[in-house]
Amino acid sequence: MSDAGARTPVHEALMYTDLASWYHLLTAPSDYAEEAEHLIAVVDRAGEGSTRTLLELGCGAGTLASHLTERFACTLTDLSSQMLAESRRLNPGVEHLEGDMRTLRLGRLFDVVLIHDAIDYMLNERDLESALATIAAHLRPGGLALVVPDAVSETFAPGTATGGTDGDDGRAIRYLEWTHDLAPGATSYAVDYVFVLREGDASARVEHERHVIGLFPIAAWERLLARCGMDRLELPVEDPFAAEHVTLLARRRKAG
């Protein structure tokens, strides 16, 4: 079991490496259908011109994307080869590429670029700006950026959640997710995860790891989006998940 105080760098996170094959038991693809429906409604209402092609940075196990591939021609990217393998299984026939959202350059433009909860791993303004610059580098003029952090400074609240399911292959997992702040006014917070894993028989394995998550005020998001050539837009439809995350929408400037 890992040291309870240590932070796990994201490229070593058990959840995205050794435990990646358990990801869809932690969070079932069906749980993402409504959220995907909301994002599609946002694009349908705010889009100008074609909204056919979509690039996702940090697609993880492709859970959300599995509800987007009918509406969009998707290109899915992530840092973790193990998570991409899970996404490929869930989204066969969809283009998948390995890459870091801070540096990826495909040399192609898309109508929509999405970063869902993977944006949480940008821990300072420099990395956040690099990720937003990657969005801008892949957006056609007038195209839409959708960025969905779990929280911004104004909405952060500590909390706990539990979940997990039994697979049909004899594996079962349960987790505790404990979100807490590190220091008042800090630009990051911690999420302690405890996983209990069972495979076939009655014995159980317990794993703990701490993820550190970036936290930025709305004004910083708007400033960095603008510096990357994108202007924040109001959401054109109400967000049914406003209590759980923040949906930031922006349009790539047509010039400048």
Ligand X SMILES: C[S@@+](CC[C@H](N)C(=O)[O-])C[C@H]1O[C@@H](n2cnc3c(N)ncnc32)[C@H](O)[C@@H]1O
Cβ neighbors of 46 (< 8 A, separation 6 or more) are 144, 233, 236, 249, 251
Given the rule CB under 6 A, which of 99-107, 199-207, 218-226, 241-249 is the region that contacts ligand X?
99-107
Within 107-166, the residues that bind ligand X by CB under 6 A are 116-118, 121
In Å, the largest CA–CA distance within the chain is 62
Within 58-77, the residues that bind ligand X by CB under 6 A are 58-64
- The angle, 0 to 180 degrees and rounded to 10, between the axes of the packed helices 125-137 and 218-227 is 50
78 binds ligand X per the rule CB under 6 A: yes
Within 180-209, the residues that bind ligand X by CB under 6 A are none
Minimum distance of ligand X from residue 6's CB (angstroms): 18
- Distance of CA 61 to CAs 93, 128, 160, 185, 222, Å? 15, 22, 23, 32, 29
201 C-beta neighbours (distance < 10 Å), count: 7
Cβ neighbors of 26 (< 8 A, separation 6 or more) are 15, 163, 164, 173, 175, 195
Q: Which residue is nearest to ligand X (CB)?
A: 60
- Residue of the chain from 19, 54, 76, 83 that contacts ligand X (CB under 6 A): 83
| Residue placing its CB nearer to ligand X in the complex, 40 or 101 | 101
Minimum distance of ligand X from residue 114's CB (angstroms): 9
- Residue of the chain from 38, 67, 96, 102 that contacts ligand X (CB under 6 A): 102
- Residue of the chain from 69, 80, 91, 247 that contacts ligand X (CB under 6 A): 80
